[in-house]
Chain A
Amino acid sequence: MNDTVGIVIVSHSPDIAKGTADMVRQMVGSEVKVAFCGGNPDGGLGTNVSLIIDAINNAWSPKGVAVLVDLGGAETNSEMAVEMLQPERRNLVVVCNAPIVEGAVMAATEAVGGSSLEQVRAVAEELSAS
């Protein structure tokens, strides 16, 4: 199997994160590695840096990982998580400025064709342009 960019979904809600991942798998298939996480360290609504780091490592691909987030804290915590990765991985992860569900589906669709991390990010972020 050729390497494809991995997709990570980070929502405040574990249900949204899982549901988004389910949609990606159904629409795009299992050729793209998808990992997801949601909820604060107590399991309530929020995000958790430690789980985000785990998700990025689980979706890891030599081509990199695109992270899709919902609201502010998910973005800030994802950026923090990227900085806490092992140094050689940090530059191969991008946090996309895109709506979480549509962005994840579009990013995975682009990734499955073998596109680069920058191409995957660009396709997801086109959704935010208008």
Chain B
Amino acid sequence: MSLQPETLKTLVRAAAEQMIASAPELTALDQAIGDGDHGANMKRGFEAVLGKLDTISAQPIDQALKTIGKTLVMTVGGASGPLYGSFFMAAGDALASKRLPDDLADVFCCAVGAVVSRGRSRPGEKTMLDVLFPVLQTLMAEAGQPDLIDKVRTTASEAVARTVPMQATKGRAAFLGARSIGHVDPGARSSCLLVHAVCNTLEARL
């Protein structure tokens, strides 16, 4: 499968519209344990991505991902800009030498690795990595299986729920110490929403 420009456009639009629609929810989550700007920041970033949709969907997939990443870096205005930006830019870099769908897990691994180094974080610290890592594991373990999309979606949902009892040690929520326990992590939630948007779109087109 080489990704058709129309499929790429549909995917990017679905992901961006999901982030924009979910801004109030992400803001509410972030007000509980962060500084309350995650929703507005992601909305601003993905509105900028939507504004470049025609350019992005005309590019080869590796370039398109880099454009998305750079746009997020330049427009989000919070730590999630470089974190999500690095994710997409690293995915784009990886695709210079890898192919979809065969190397999907490899590409995703490079992207998650970029988030790890940018945030100097690892799973278990109540961050977006607590969704991205389990999703990576599912992609590796279930590659090529007919129900891969469904398993990825379920993995992401379950992973978000597991952030509730975690105590944050990275990001603004770390200031709260034990008081961060009992809340969904906003970054984990936005990662889950993006994964779901991609899964739902791919499923509808298969």
Contacts and interface: CB of A to CB of B under 8 A. Distances in A.
A77 B82 contact: yes
A71 interface: yes
Interface string B171-184: 11000000000000
Contacts, number: 63
Contacts of B41: 40, 46
Contact of B44 (A39, A40, A45, A84): A40
A5 to B, nearest CB: 24
A114 to B, nearest CB: 32
B78 A50 contact: no
Given A41-B44, A79-B118, A46 B85 contact: no
- Which label, helix, strand, loop or mixed, suits the secondary structure of the B interface? helix
Contacts of A20: none
Interface residues of A, number: 20
B171 to A, nearest CB: 6
A8 B100 CA distance: 42
B186 interface: no
Contact of B79 (A45, A48, A73): A73
Interface stretch (B69-77, B140-148, B154-162): B69-77
B73 A49 contact: yes
Contacts of A76: 79, 81-83, 118-119
Contacts of B83: 76
Contacts of A47: 77-78
A32 B46 CA distance: 39
Band of interface residues on B = 20 to 34
B185 interface: no
B77 A41 contact: yes
B118 A46 contact: no
A88 interface: no
- Which label, helix, strand, loop or mixed, suits the secondary structure of the A interface? loop
Contacts of B79: 72-73, 75-77
Given A40-B44, A41-B74, A77 B172 contact: no
Contacts of B44: 40-42
A110 B171 CA distance: 30
A69 to B, nearest CB: 11
B130 interface: no
B69 to A, nearest CB: 10
Contacts of B76: 40-41
Contacts of B172: 71-72
A91 to B, nearest CB: 17
Contacts of A23: none
A42 B77 contact: yes
Interface string A77-92: 1011000100000000
25 contacts: A40-B44, A41-B74, A44-B40, A45-B35, A45-B37, A46-B77, A46-B78, A49-B73, A49-B74, A49-B81, A72-B79, A72-B171, A73-B78, A73-B79, A76-B79, A76-B81, A76-B82, A76-B118, A76-B119, A77-B77, A77-B81, A79-B118, A80-B73, A80-B81, A80-B118
